[in-house]
Structure 1
């Protein structure tokens, strides 16, 4: 979700503060109800159950677009406003991730090296260790024993936008730094008579991208604070991560009676002290809030020095100092440690499943680096090149960030079809399709359609944008979109895009109701596809 405006009420403020959410309990989407009875290309009316959803009063002031295509025959099965531009929300990530996947390849891995600058003798390095940030999205912090990345339907990066819903994965967010520290020790270095430097010059900052990614990423550059209720009137209990000497926590959350409001905030002062305050209902589940890491390079430096100490390597420089200026020349030669990322297809899966905003914007910057530029904006040339390769009509696609959270993002329903077709039959067809959220099964569609016949048969990237309405204190649901594949049976798939723009939501339940409606439309489209197969 992308949002702006000043909120009235906690849920509304959370929505307006969100970047580009596409998550289960806040997926918004709908259809207009005053468009008459749209017809399929073959003249058959839209499923009356879908029309009934579209006719709900809540959708009467908005606009709906729908396109279903049978790729086996090229036949348009269902069509409504297929060439009208809509606000897409995070379905924009389909274009960003597709471009990166096509450019880098699904098997591509990123290497983050550590170099020793100075003389090594008798176990001591007379000089500095230099960690060269490579834009590794997870730095080993989500990697499961089987080598895949872990995620939850509501990612921790959405903790503040979706209060009470986000969850942590169990993996250690400092695992990659610990791994590299052990490698340094294995090279015989037990003492660094110098400093640790994090070189994050891979690409320049770009505030035009909503998340303004940094080449150095630890725990999505967030501090997590998880609160658990105790006895009413007493302080709640808490844990926090990743823990380094750079931060401390001043905790002021009080447990209140069951059923009372829960509201917790976390802010970080200039001294690194994180103040956590608020109330937590006695019957509430563990409640997650986050606060951003303001200086990712300096934070990673502290975390790496502490990892070195855990591995038996002492560093003369204080762990909480600033990140020194990197050497004028880019370090080279044989690194004393290196962290190799998971294959790119795993990062792509994470971005698509949980609608990972930082990851999507990061892809724009890494595409620019592949083109030999430190200017993230040059990454859009690669996205345009992919669009041209896939056959996307440039008159039907506008993109101004990686995630789908700015006004410059707009696509027609038809714009998705060439992209979806591109991935349908290639060697990565199955991997790309399964990287998408799956209705009732995985990603941010996991909580919809669990009992539906369409469960496990709708593969779609979701998109939501919501903005505050200061006139009424409501939320303007600017967009809800889905685009992907409908399993028609027998190894056949239909391509679909459904998008709705502009309705009002007065409560969080209203937003959830709209989310259920759009998910229900996708279920009905899949059932129609399965019933008709892919024949003419």
Structure 2
């Protein structure tokens, strides 16, 4: 395993850990340490003041398999996003960590003297970046607080620095280099790689993605009473924008973004002191949106499209006239784990379904659970209702989670799997946890949070806060662990963040005292 900072690795190799166990044996001092650890963690749990559905905790020595701490480890609890680890572990093994996604373009009637005879067909294959996150070194960009979370209003959003139309521009450039000047037909988008998933909580999942199928709106307050500035991403010539956002006093933001076809309506108000703010909406029709975007990019490249954008998909065959190659699957898994990207996890399950011979995302989810069973995970302690952990009927136990993390770390793609987990105090969803303490760089773990509005009391329900992964304790012990808490009522968003910190304190105690 590699670490992005110069600290001791999160866990030593199994051979080294086993050697340490063989040398030290089990002594009275070990028993005292274990007792002290249990007391410290129990005290940390009591200090959180969190009551409700209770705790599921398990920490196991990475080398010896010794249970270091346990509380309610077989209870089936709401996992939140730590469930994504089931999906990414399966993706690395089933899809292949080094495999890539090829997005082709076909000329339905061939190319004659620079003219595409008939329609140009863009074929979706499930690349959620599709140029947006792709970097020159072959990695995918990770943003601090992603545009997928913009509408929560919790923290300022870090937009990607890449061009959301980069893949389409590359495809257009290839056509220009091949001498194409005209498309006699229209632009078709083939979205049949798998059946679009519409039932999961995080929105529609298709095989074609442009800007992760979001329309982002960057808002700038003007003077009080004036219309705010609006910038739409991606900027498309065919996309009209209606700006009905008024600048008001204060710093509150109450803005709604809606899209129907080729029109985006931005309405509401933004406080004069709010600063630059991002809001967005998922595109209403990924196929139509991709066709529109591709037609615009082709026009910019000097290729005349004589037909319409979004025509029915014609028959096509032969070699593609242009292709876009994605980053490896390991990078998609890294984005999902580091940022806790819900729709990205959903898409990986859909791709797994295709790889396993199916045509639905649900088939992929079943394959994810089967993969966990092959790893030795007690699947009777697991319930999967979506691939991202966003459905609150999902359940897992701390025991099942530890077995998954342990087996995945010891598997063929173990070093990659460990490395894609958020690193405490450094990056991803753990960047603010343990920063500036001895725990910084010593914990690599997936985070999970589920918060819902409780209407009868006008409160927020912290349904789940969880952490699952690997740590090197202050005493040098390498552990696989899971800490899951369900559930508490709070009154405000700051109290949600405070509850998260309280659960994190139990994990940090385990690292400090273990």
Same fold (TM over 0.5): yes
How many residues align? The count is 483
Q: How much has 1:426 moved relative to structure 2?
A: 4.2
1:250 maps to what in 2?
242
User: Which of 203, 226, 229 is 2:221 aligned to?
Assistant: 229
Greater mean alpha carbon deviation, residues 191-200 or residues 51-60: 51-60
Contact 1:223–1:292 (CA under 8 A) maintained in structure 2: yes
The answer to which structure, 1 or 2, has the higher relative contact order (CA under 8 A, 6+ apart) is: 1
Name the counterpart of 2:58. 67
Question: Per the alignment, do residues 221 and 57 of structure 1 end up closer, same or farther by CA in structure 2, a change over 3 Å counting?
Answer: same
Relative to structure 1, the CA distance from residue 41 to residue 403 in structure 2 (aligned partners, 3 Å threshold; closer, same or farther) is farther
> By how many angstroms is 1:390 displaced?
0.9
Q: 1:208 aligns with which of 199, 209, 212?
A: 199
- Separation in 1 of the partners of 2:147 and 2:213? 11
Q: Distance in 1 between matches of 2:475 and 2:237?
A: 57
Return the offset for 1:306: 1.2
Contact kept in structure 1, 2:475 and 2:513, CA below 8 Å:
no
Unpaired runs of 5+ residues, structure 2, are 1-30
Which residue matches 1:5?
none
Matched, 1:479 2:464: yes
Decide whether aligned partners of structure 1 residues 483 and 41 sit closer, same or farther in structure 2, where only a CA change above 3 A counts. Answer: farther
CA displacement 1:388-425 (0-9 Å, x = unmatched): 22100121111111011124310110001222122324
1:278 and 1:367 map into 2 onto residues whose CA distance is 41
Aligned with residue 324 of structure 1, among 307, 311, 317: 311
The CA deviation at 1:54 is 2.2
Structure 1 residues 271 and 388: alpha-carbon distance in aligned structure 2, compared to 1, 3 A threshold: closer
Q: Which moved more, 1:427-436 or 1:362-371?
A: 427-436
In structure 2, C-alpha distance between the alignment counterparts of 1:208 and 1:271, rounded to whole Å: 22
Larger mean CA deviation between 385-394 and 158-167 belongs to 158-167
1:520 Cα offset (Å): 2.2
| Aligned-partner SS, 1:289 | strand
Given the two structures, how large is their TM-score scaled by the length of structure 1?
0.86
| Change in CA separation of 1:385 and 1:302 when aligned onto 2, cut-off 3 Å | same
Aligned partner of 1:338 in structure 2 is: 323
What is the alpha-carbon distance in structure 2 between the residues aligned to residue 47 and residue 276 of structure 1?
A: 54
Shift of 1:428: 3.1
- Give the deviation of 1:49 after TM superposition: 5.4
SS at match of 2:456: coil
Distance in 2 separating the partners of 1:279 and 1:348: 37
Taking the TM superposition and a 5 Å limit, the aligned residue runs for 1:84-103 are 84-103=75-94
The 1:499–1:361 alpha-carbon spacing in structure 2 relative to 1, beyond 3 Å, is same
Partner of 1:121: 112
Q: Of residues 435, 454, 463 in structure 1, which corresponds to 2:420?
A: 435
Question: Deviations for 1:199-221, whole angstroms, at most 9, x for unmatched residues?
Answer: 00011123332233101111111
Match of 1:177 in 2: 168
Q: What is the rounded CA distance, in whole Å, between the counterparts of 1:169 and 1:341 in structure 2?
A: 17
CA contact 2:124–2:191 (8 Å) conserved in 1: yes
Unaligned runs of 5+ in 1: 1-39, 530-536
| Structure 1 residue 327: Cα displacement | 2.7
- Structure 1 pair 108/491, CA: closer, same or farther in 2 (3 Å)? farther
Q: Give distance in 2, aligned partners of 1:48 and 1:208.
A: 45
**Is 1:299 aligned to 2:299, yes or no?**
no
Alignment map for 1:111-510 (pairs within 5 Å):
111-210=102-201, 211-257=203-249, 259-268=250-259, 270=260, 272-319=262-309, 323-328=310-315, 331-426=316-411, 428-488=413-473, 493-510=478-495
Shift of 1:53: 4.1
- Kindly tell me: are residues 61 and 372 of structure 1, through their superposed partners in 2, closer, same or farther at Cα, counting changes over 3 Å? closer
Q: Distance in 1 between matches of 2:303 and 2:263?
A: 27
Do residues 520 (structure 1) and 511 (structure 2) align? no
How far is the alpha carbon of 1:456 from its aligned partner?
A: 1.4
> How far off its partner does 1:350 sit?
0.5
| Structure 2 counterpart SS, 1:59 | coil
Contact preservation (8 Å) 1:468, 1:474: yes
